Structure 1
Amino acid sequence: MIRTPYGKQILIDGGGTLSFRKKGEEWKDRKDPYEVGKKLLVPLLKKRGVHHIDLLILSHEDADHSGGLQAVAKQIPISNFLFNGTYKPNKGIKELFETAEQLHIPLLAATATAPVRIDPLTTLQIIYPSEKKSSQVRIEEDQNERSIVCILDMDGTRWLFTGDMESGAERSLLNNDLTLTANNKQRPVDVLKVAHHGSKTSTTQEWLDYWKPRIAVISVGAMNSYGHPSPSVVDRLEQNKIQLFRTDLLGEIQMEVHNHQLYSRTKLE
């Protein structure tokens, strides 16, 4: 959740509850199952004073990033909804897009752009995917490599958000000069949102060499079944002397900008 110096509010992704039920095991589901958007995300946003979202960015359509957004869309007004320009056929995404249409929330397909002014001290630039806009939405089951990647420049600080991009997308982006301006190449980022919950499939040394982040944040569930974050990624970040924040160890991570400086605090509940 991003709140800009002039009060614009941007939400990137909304978590989600993964189901490992096999076909025919629906009887095991609870009548009122835990739903992260309804039970956690919406109450937390309202607690933080978020009653309107200027821009919702869904980095990609996997359930652990999109699932919580249905409750958000129903309970918090949204001005614009940016998605990756593809469609992953499943019940949750169908319901989310239908809700956006019913509420007349503009659905915008992302593509690489020049920096867009959000407020006098904030710009947002989409740097991936880099294909030209199409009038048709392509069906895409594998969503990680279609993740929206964006740079936020805010009051003298720089943030890189990566969704679940993998090493192939990292290489493609670094090799495509059309999506990276000379300004990007000259300026490192202050904060890197580490891709794919710290999976070993992302955050290569080449990626770190290019962006030279000072701080890295890994959004990852405690005791998750995937073993994220990968020890090799954590070691790589430490070897590059990048300060690391992990939600599995620290809980909620907040960062504030004052006079071009970053200040952080964490809250484990």
Structure 2
Amino acid sequence: MLIAVTTADNAPRYIQLSTGAADTAVIEDGAHTWVIDTCEHGGDLANYLLSRGRSVDTLYITHLHSDHVGGLQQLLEQRVPIREIAIPQAAFEAKDVNWGLAMIEAARSAGIPVRSIAQGDTLAQGRTTMQVLWPPANVYPGQNANQSSLVTHWNIAGLTVLSMGDLGGDYEQYAMRPAQVLKVAHHGSRNSTLPSFIDFVAPQAAILTNSEALAQRAQAVTERLERAGCRVLTTQDTGCITFKVTPQGIMMQPYIAGGFH
């Protein structure tokens, strides 16, 4: 059950930072911290992590487009502690990712281990579990990077989150899992988050990461979700969006009050 706002500060949580037309999310559970993508300019992410004294257990990079990995440069410059980076092997073999590859090499040069992950890989630490739903290990090389984007399903002390990266509608049927919260694919592109996908996942809330320039593009997906009874939250309207797990239930907290659709 999703209910209103909490002020509890040490609860397990999922945070979608407001970074315009780019993606970055933080999962916290006790002393554990995981990050999904770094957005394009990582200053806000670095400041958030450093202000809370968090070191990153694993930084998951969904794919090597600049709006998902570009902020890694600032994390390195600000010396955010990162124990390892995990990225699909298929991401290295996609087309037009040379700039993103350079970011990963910079992390390696800074002494951060980089490992490959694929469909079926799992995480279990504290009260959090995660499963990689996409891509498989045997994706053909040379595809569009979005089609090999990392999709993960999280259970954070009872809060379930499906994070879709930028995966397109042609492949989302292979990466479906019911979840309370859906991080919508590709900033709400009309070619993703199709009605059959929404029906299967059955999210209670959906997060759209977009900017004013992309808001119109996301209109079709917003309408599909709302017709299914899903509450749609956009970082453009609400700023940072936080879901926390407390004894009272799972609670949503927008940075800007009154920002819910």
AA matched with 1:57: Y
State the partner residue of 2:62. Answer: 59
AA matched with 1:7: A
- 1:1-269 matches, within 5 Å, as 1-16=25-40, 36-38=41-43, 40-47=44-51, 49-74=52-77, 75-85=79-89, 86-87=91-92, 88-90=95-97, 92-113=99-120, 115-119=122-126, 121-132=127-138, 140=142, 142-173=144-175, 188-221=178-211, 223-224=212-213, 226-259=214-247, 261-268=249-256
AA matched with 2:185: A
Which structure would you say has the larger Rg?
1
Q: Unpaired runs of 5+ in structure 1? A: 17-35, 175-183
State the partner residue of 1:181. Answer: none
AA matched with 1:99: A
Q: Tell me the C-alpha RMSD between the 2 structures.
A: 2.3
Structure with the bigger RCO (C-alpha within 8 Å, sep 6+) is: 2
SS at match of 1:230: helix
Q: Unpaired runs of 5+ in structure 2? A: 1-24
AA matched with 1:77: P
What displacement does 1:69 show?
Answer: 1.4
* TM-score after normalising by structure 1: 0.77
Assess if the C-alpha contact under 8 Å between 1:156 and 1:260 holds in 2: no
What displacement does 1:215 show?
Answer: 0.8
What displacement does 1:140 show?
Answer: 3.7
AA matched with 2:124: R
Assess if the C-alpha contact under 8 Å between 2:151 and 2:175 holds in 1: no
What displacement does 1:250 show?
Answer: 1.0
Q: Deviations over 1:61-89 (max 9, x none)?
A: 11111111121134212111011213255
What displacement does 1:8 show?
Answer: 0.6
Q: Deviations over 1:88-123 (max 9, x none)?
A: 55553233122221122221112012542122x111
AA matched with 1:37: G
What displacement does 1:43 show?
Answer: 2.2
Identity %: 24
Moved more, 97-106 or 232-241: 97-106
Moved more, 98-107 or 191-200: 98-107
Assess if the C-alpha contact under 8 Å between 1:197 and 1:228 holds in 2: no
AA matched with 2:49: L
Assess if the C-alpha contact under 8 Å between 2:165 and 2:185 holds in 1: yes
Assess if the C-alpha contact under 8 Å between 2:65 and 2:97 holds in 1: no
